Amino acid sequence: MMIYQNFAFIYDQFMENVQYQDWADFVEEVLNSNEIKGDKILELACGTGNVTGLLRKKGYDMTGIDISEDMLTIAQEKSYENNLKIKYLKQDMRTLNLNKSKYDAVVSFCDGINYIIEEEDLGAVFENVYKHLNDEGIFIFDISTEYKLKNILGQNTFAETSEDSAYIWENYYDERTRILEFDLNIFIEEDEMYTRHFESHRQKAHRSDELCSKIEEIGFKNIKVYGSIDFSPEKEDSERIYICVQK
């Protein structure tokens, strides 16, 4: 699994239009509709803590994990600045071990599950979530769809600039493996010069039926797939889907 390093420091500048608030509201609505009374939530691949912080502001007891120390450093700084009590831990969701800690919900947004490439690792993630959920607890996650990775991102290049940084994002999609490889060239202003940094990432275009089958094998129930946070069904051209399951 690739770790965000240098991109972590400009991540929020270029992700301002991401629907973090909508995701936090979606979590609250799912928990309320399922009459989840507890307030302990674990966020996988929490990044710089955008959803984590919004859920904390809603009153949830939040723990965020991420494999990137740089992302967690920024998340922690933001929690201090906003006077939010959030526990952040460096952990890999594939080997997640929070001892005997249990949660009323586990959530993951913004492609965290897409970064799990191998089937064995995917099963390990779902098993780890199951172990860390209280009975009747909810697991909510999203994925960028095969349609998006193949038709929107695949073989395309994107670029964006800000006052003191810029990136070029090149994408290569393999239809056989359903893996998107993307290269990030990052330029950060340092001492009136721009320093170039490079990262390479991989995401898997998981299909909803395959995910649901594996989830069911683990023992989850009440599996629901949505094509949007308005709870509409998945469509052929859905760019992101949301899966909600219960222990």
Pick from 44, 10, 1: nearest CA to 195: 10
Plot region of 104 (φ>0 → left; ψ -120 to 50 → alpha; else → beta): alpha
pLDDT band at 7 (very low <50, low <70, confident <90, very high): low
Residue pLDDT, tens place only, 77-89: 999 999 999 999 9
User: Which residues lie closer than 8 Å to 14 by C-beta, 6 or more apart?
Assistant: 160, 162, 167
Structural domains of the chain, count: 2
User: Which residues lie closer than 8 Å to 107 by C-beta, 6 or more apart?
Assistant: 27, 41, 42, 43, 44, 51, 55, 139, 140, 141
- Statement to judge: residues 92 and 33 lie in one domain: yes
Residue pLDDT, tens place only, 26-74: 999 999 999 998 999 999 999 999 999 999 999 999 999 999 998 899 9
Tell me which of 164 and 135 has the higher pLDDT. Answer: 135
- Statement to judge: residues 84 and 114 lie in one domain: yes
- Statement to judge: residues 199 and 224 lie in one domain: no
Least confident residue range of 74-78, 88-92, 164-168 = 164-168
Residue 164's CATH number: 2.20.25.110
Sheet strands (E) in the chain: 40-43, 61-66, 87-90, 103-108, 133-144, 157-161, 165-174, 179-190, 193-204, 221-226, 240-246
- Statement to judge: residues 119 and 216 lie in one domain: yes
Q: Which domain holds residue 68?
A: 6-144+207-246
Instruction: Count other Cβ atoms within 10 Å, centred on residue 235.
Output: 12
Pick from 214, 213, 239: nearest CA to 226: 239
Are β-strands 61-66 and 40-43 bridged in parallel, bridged antiparallel, or unpaired?
parallel
User: What pLDDT score does 172 carry?
Assistant: 97
Residue 99 forms part of a structural domain:
yes
Residue 214's CATH number: 3.40.50.150
pTM over 0.95: no
- Statement to judge: residues 154 and 194 lie in one domain: yes
User: What pLDDT score does 164 carry?
Assistant: 82
- Statement to judge: residues 161 and 135 lie in one domain: no
**How many percent of the chain have pLDDT more than 70?**
94
Least confident residue range of 1-10, 154-163, 179-188 = 1-10
Three-state DSSP state, 9? helix
Side chain identity at residue 68, one-letter code: S
- Statement to judge: residues 163 and 191 lie in one domain: yes
- Statement to judge: residues 94 and 135 lie in one domain: yes
| Mean model confidence pLDDT for the chain | 92
* 51, burial (CB in 10 Å: exposed 0-12, middle 13-18, buried 19+): buried
pLDDT band at 16 (very low <50, low <70, confident <90, very high): low
Residue 1 forms part of a structural domain:
no
- Statement to judge: residues 130 and 27 lie in one domain: yes
Residue 46 forms part of a structural domain:
yes
- Statement to judge: residues 82 and 116 lie in one domain: yes
pLDDT band at 15 (very low <50, low <70, confident <90, very high): low
- Statement to judge: residues 193 and 211 lie in one domain: no
CB 227 within 8 A of CB 233: yes
